[in-house]
Structure 1
């Protein structure tokens, strides 16, 4: 039995290596529209998109931070709505989208990048809206340099690494079963070369209002088909999940608003209530019937919820 298992492992590794070799010889590249521009942010070549205010009002700008494995595309439907009365910016976190894939992939480094975005773009005390894992980066900057932001909106995420019962320590590492080269890169590469798996994942997280036509699915796939993208994703997945601890969140003193979807399995009503308590806020908006990617599936409702939870000082 041991020999048989070893043979299977060898075959899987050999097949994975052969698949990656074929992918290098015949890579898939997608010609999708990519707006925006590139800046240097804390030494990272960073892709940024900008939606100018339709009716400038002097309000602080918004800076939108995507979550795990997301790019600025996730904001493409909600950002124009949020830009009704103020400038809106979104950027790709290091390792994702069209930003450089350079480590370290840590919360400190991601926070440096966000601070660099604000500095390079000369944004004075913006409101930072984080989605999912992007909430951790937004809150981290608010904790490190509260004077640099007007406030934070935590959308579909609590800013912690979701590390179980002991929420006072650092984030634990997730499952490592397939995170072995060349198996992990081969599995991910096979997934992003086909629309089916991506369409299924997005549909499950987004709901009936989400665009899942071929062109929209390709917007998700395109960044992961760029050279080095899959390897970066594997490297990020090998690291502990980024996030603040509960005691750290208790120290956040900037105004915070919270948006959650009642159909979101990773950030439900109970999670939102607990997060609001840690962050000393009562500004909580629920999106009934929506899911984790409500910003894509219901952009009108999502943008309205973000507006409602931004305190008046924002």
Structure 2
């Protein structure tokens, strides 16, 4: 009996090794084929490049239609996002103030330049404000971008007039005790994202429009553009040289973010926006975030999803404008 078990285990082990070798070989062959037949997307990317703390950073600028002396806005995209996520919202906010958006290092059309850490991302944002000669803007961080915006506010309160955490609380911690790091860093995730398997899977996804279209639609709702041109704006950064490699390098690490205690130490005026159908950041989480940030400025968009700023830009802008007015007043509405 023991011999049978050992023989079965040996055969099973050999079979598993063979399967792994076959999968890795196929992944390697797929990447080799992709190198020979890469996908090229024809998409116009507006904006320009500036040096932000040593990082070649892609920036878009929407000048104020009717300048009013209001603080400029700087928009920070979240995980795997680019300036495109603000493309419908920014023109609506530029009615009375200058609006800027940029690609965080490793994403979009900014340099794929490590290290991909919160400290480095904060350096980039501070460098961007210096490069653009912006004095105390209001920074709106979407999703994980909220972590970068709040990190700068914590590090240098005088650099910003206020911060809006939109569809994200700026922390990577979950669970009842708020100490479990969210995403990245685990052994399984590290193995899955390593070459050649990780690059082959992600490359296979971004080579085709439909997976991206379905993912965007699920996070955005019926108002989101999902035509081929819009989908290509999402795909283009990852199809550029180094795009997939950078995404996987970021994915192997824990999510960037502040701790709850660090958020409680933020003393600049803040505001929070959530969407009721956002599975990653709902109204309950928004209220908890506002409590840590000592603010009463909380807005919720009923029926909206994570990418409401792209799918429902009019509603999002209508919720954001009163918050911007309050933040510009210089008084932090505290509980």
TM-score, normalization: structure 2? Answer: 0.91
Pick aligned residue for 1:188 from 202, 206, 229 = 202
1:209-220 equivalences under 5 Å are: 209-220=223-234
User: Which ranges of 4 or more aligned residues in structure 1 deviate by more than 4 Å?
Assistant: 168-172
Q: 1:232 aligns with which of 239, 246, 262?
A: 246
Please give the alpha-carbon distance, in whole angstroms, between the structure 2 residues aligned to 1:99 and 1:158.
24
Separation in 1, partners of 2:236, 2:69 = 36
- 1:169: how far off? 7.5
How do residues 48-59 of structure 1 correspond to structure 2 at under 5 angstroms? 48-59=59-70
**Structure 1 residues not aligned, in runs of 5+:** none
CA contact (8 A) 2:173 2:259 kept: no
Q: Return the match for 1:223 from 211, 223, 237.
A: 237
Q: Which residue of 1 aligns with 2:3?
A: none
Which protein shows a greater Rg?
2
SS at match of 1:178: helix
C-alpha contact 1:283 1:310 (8 A) present in aligned 2: no
* Structure 2 partner of 1:147: 158
Q: How does 1:13-162 map to 2 (within 5 A)?
A: 13-162=24-173
Secondary structure of the equivalent of 1:257? Answer: strand
Q: TM-score, normalised by structure 1?
A: 0.97
SS in 2 for 1:312: helix
RMSD, aligned CA: 1.3
Paired residues of 1:39 and 1:46 also in contact (CA < 8 A): yes
1:29 CA displacement: 1.8
Q: Distance in 2 between matches of 1:144 and 1:311?
A: 24
Distance 1:114 1:215 in 2: 29
Shift in Å, 1:269: 1.2
More helix, by proportion: 2
* CA–CA separation in structure 2 for the residues paired with 1:313 and 1:133: 21
Which residue number corresponds to residue 268 of structure 1?
Answer: 282
Task: Tell me the secondary structure at the aligned position of residue 172 of structure 2.
Answer: coil
